[in-house]
Amino acid sequence: MRYLEKYGIIWHFGLDPLEVADFLRHFKLKLIEDVGPSYYQEKFLKPLGRRLDVSEIERTAYATVI
């Protein structure tokens, strides 16, 4: 967090990837997919012609309402 703060980035929240499904369940959500940065770039950004740096610690979760 201190590293990010040097660049003016404030990290507000984070989860261990193994705890995402349990966390979402509290909000009546079911985890469908949890992916890392390279998968996110290939599947979602590249087809749109977008270039966006995604950190190795960032993940994307896709969920549905239970």
Residue whose C-alpha is closest to residue 54's, from 62, 66, 43? 43
CA distance 34 to 43: 13
Record the pTM: 0.69
Alpha helices, DSSP H, located in the chain: 2-5, 20-25, 37-40
Query: How many residues are given for the chain?
Result: 66
Domain boundary assignment for the chain: 14-65
Residue 28: per-residue pLDDT? 98
User: Confidence class of residue 30 from pLDDT cuts 50, 70 and 90?
Assistant: very high
